[in-house]
Structure 1
Amino acid sequence: MAEKQSGLTSLTSRKLSRRDVLQLGGAAIVSAAAASMVGWAPKRYAPAVVSSEVKLGLMNTLTGAGSIHAPSVLNCAKLAVDEINASGGVLGSRVFLEIEDNHTDVDISIQKATKLVKDTKVAAMIDMSFSNQRIAVATQVAEPLKAIYISPVFYEGGICGRYFFNTGAIANQNIETMVPWAGKEFGKRFYLIGSDYAWGRGSAAAAKKAIDANGFELAGEEYAPLGQTEWSAIIQRMADAGANFGFLWIAGNDLVTFLKQFIDFGLKDKVRLGFTYMSEEVTPSLPPENRAGLLASTSYLMSLDTPQNKEFLDRFTASFGKDQVVTAFGEATYDSVYLWKLACEKAGTFETEAVVNALEGMSFPDAPQGPIRIDPVTHNSTLREIVGESTEDPIKFNILADLGMIDPVWPDCVVPKA
Structure 2
Amino acid sequence: MVVPLEGSAGIFGPSCQAVAELAAAEFNKEDGVLGRQVELEFIDAGQAPREVAAQVAALADEGRLDAVTGWHISSVRNALVPAIAGRLPYVYTSLYEGGERRPGVYCSGEVPNFQIIPALAWMACQLGRRRWFVVGHDYVWPRQTAAVLTQACAGLGIEIVGEAFVPMDAGRVNMLVNEVAKSSCDGVLMLLVGQEAVLFNRLFAELGLSERMVRYSPLMEENMVMGSGPEATDDLYVSAGFFRTLVTAGSFDLQSRYAAFHGVGAPPLNNVAESCYEGMHTLVHLARLACSPLVQDMNRVIGELGYDGPRGTVQFHGNQATHPVYLARADGLDFEIIEQL
Which range, TM-score by smaller chain?
Answer: over 0.9
Measure the CA separation in 2 of the matches of 1:128 and 1:194: 18
Q: CA deviation at 1:145?
A: 4.5
Preserved CA contact (<8 Å) 1:65 1:104: no
Cα pair distance change 1:102/1:188, threshold 3 Å: closer
Matched, 1:400 2:338: yes
TM-score by length of 1: 0.77
Residues 307 and 292 (structure 1 numbering): CA distance in 2 closer, same or farther, change over 3 Å? farther
Aligned twin of 2:50: 107
Counterpart-to-counterpart distance in 2, 1:218 and 1:109? 34
Q: Counterpart of 1:206?
A: 148
Distance 2:303 2:199 in 1: 40
2:268 aligns to what? 325
Equivalent in 348, 353, 356 of residue 291 of structure 2: 348
For the structure 1 residues 322 and 291, does the alpha-carbon distance in structure 2 shift closer, same or farther, using more than 3 Å as the test? farther
Amino acid across the alignment from 1:287: G
Map residues 43-122 of structure 1 onto 2, 5 A cutoff. Answer: 58-122=1-65
Match of residue 251 from structure 2? 309
Q: C-alpha offsets along residues 165-221 of structure 1, whole Å, 9 cap, x if unaligned?
A: 111011111122122112221421111111111111111112212221112222211
Aligned to 2:329: 389
Mapping for residues 342-381 of structure 1, pairs under 5 Å: 342-365=285-308, 367-376=309-318, 379-381=319-321
Equivalent position amino acid for 1:166 in 2: C
| Equivalent residue letter for 2:193 | A
* 8 Å CA contact 1:340, 1:359 repeated in 2: no
Rounded to whole Å, the distance in 2 between the matches of 1:196 and 1:292 is 26
Residue identity in the other structure for 1:401:
E
Asked if the contact 2:239–2:328 (Cα under 8 Å) also holds between the matched residues in 1, the reply is yes
Supply the AA of the counterpart residue of 2:68: M
Which structure is larger by alpha-carbon Rg, 1 or 2?
A: 1
Distance, in Å, in 1 between the alignment partners of 2:305 and 2:231 is 44
CA distance in structure 2 between the partners assigned to 1:259 and 1:306 by the alignment: 29
Residue by residue, what CA displacement relative to the aligned partner does 1:1-26 show, whole Å, maximum 9, x if unpaired? xxxxxxxxxxxxxxxxxxxxxxxxxx
CA distance in structure 2 between the aligned counterparts of 1:196 and 1:351, rounded to whole angstroms = 35
Contact 2:205–2:231 (8 Å) recurs in 1: no
Contact 1:338 1:364 in 2 (8 A): no
Q: Is the CA contact 1:110–1:141 (under 8 Å) kept in the aligned structure 2? A: yes
> What is the match of residue 206 of structure 2?
264
Q: How does 1:274-313 map to 2 (within 5 A)?
A: 274-313=216-255
Mapped contact 1:339–1:359 kept (Cα < 8 A): no
**How far does residue 125 in structure 1 lie from its aligned partner after superposition?**
0.4
| Corresponding position: 1:158 with 2:96 | no
Instruction: Give the root-mean-square deviation of aligned CA atoms.
Output: 1.7
User: Are the equivalent residues in 2 in contact too, given 1:296–1:387 (CA < 8 A)?
Assistant: yes
**Residue aligning to 1:21:** none
Q: What is the aligned counterpart of 2:124 among 172, 183, 191?
A: 183
| CA apart distance, 1:288 | 3.1
Which whole-Å CA distance do the structure 1 matches of 2:102 and 2:172 have between them? 38
Compared CA separation, residues 258 and 219, structure 1 to 2 (3 A): same
Question: 2:87 corresponds to which residue?
Answer: 146
How many pairs does the alignment contain?
339
State the TM-score, normalized to the length of structure 2.
Answer: 0.94
Runs of 4+ in structure 1 over 4 Å off: none
Q: Secondary structure at the match of 2:304?
A: coil
What 5-or-longer segments of structure 1 have no aligned partner?
1-57, 404-418
Residue equivalent to 1:167: 108
Q: Which has the higher helix share?
A: 2
Residue 98 of structure 2 aligns to a residue whose secondary structure is coil
Distance 1:103 1:232 in 2: 22
CA distance in 1: counterparts of 2:325 and 2:303, whole angstroms: 21
CA shift digits 1:9-46 (9 cap, x unpaired): xxxxxxxxxxxxxxxxxxxxxxxxxxxxxxxxxxxxxx
Q: Which residue number corresponds to residue 245 of structure 1?
A: 187
